[in-house]
């Protein structure tokens, strides 16, 4: 059982930023569905999809382009 708590803690640390970012979308989605405000629900899903695509594809691509151009990336700034 101790292994599960370690894994949960590890996942929490790895995904803390994602939980914070996508958490607002989840809350807006829940509020939109509960109150039957479908534009809120669809907007939250769209925002989450855009954030995911940015993190997954755009950000790594932009970092590679900047690195090739000799510019400092966010990964180098720390």
Measured CA to CA, the distance from residue 37 to residue 40 in angstroms comes to: 6
Percent of the chain with pLDDT strictly greater than 70: 82
Q: Is residue 78 part of a domain?
A: no
Q: Is residue 6 part of a domain?
A: yes
Range of the structural domain that residue 57 is part of: 2-72
Q: Is residue 77 part of a domain?
A: no
Q: Is residue 31 part of a domain?
A: yes
Q: What average pLDDT does range 62-74 have in this prediction?
A: 73
Q: Is the dihedral of CA 56, 59, 63, 69 positive or negative?
A: positive
> What's the predicted TM-score (pTM) here?
0.57
Q: How many structural domains comprise the chain? A: 1
Residue 75 pLDDT exceeds 70: no
Q: What is the pLDDT of residue 20?
A: 75
Q: How far is it between the farthest Cα atoms of the chain? A: 50
Q: Is residue 55 part of a domain?
A: yes
Q: Report the SS3 class of residue 9.
A: helix
Q: Is residue 42 part of a domain?
A: yes
Q: What is the pLDDT of residue 2?
A: 54
Q: Report the SS3 class of residue 10.
A: helix
Q: Is residue 8 part of a domain?
A: yes
Q: Report the SS3 class of residue 59.
A: helix
Tell me: the pLDDT tens digits for 21-47? Answer: 788 888 888 889 999 989 999 999 999
Q: Is residue 39 part of a domain?
A: yes
């Amino acid at each position: 059982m101790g292994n599960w708590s370690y894994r949960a803690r590890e996942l929490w640390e790895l995904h803390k930023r994602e939980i914070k970012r996508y958490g607002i979308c989840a809350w807006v989605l829940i509020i939109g569905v509960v109150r039957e405000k479908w534009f809120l629900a669809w907007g939250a899903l769209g925002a989450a999809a855009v954030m995911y695509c940015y993190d997954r594809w755009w950000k790594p691509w932009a970092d590679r382009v900047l690195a090739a151009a000799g510019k400092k990336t966010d990964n180098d700034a720390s």
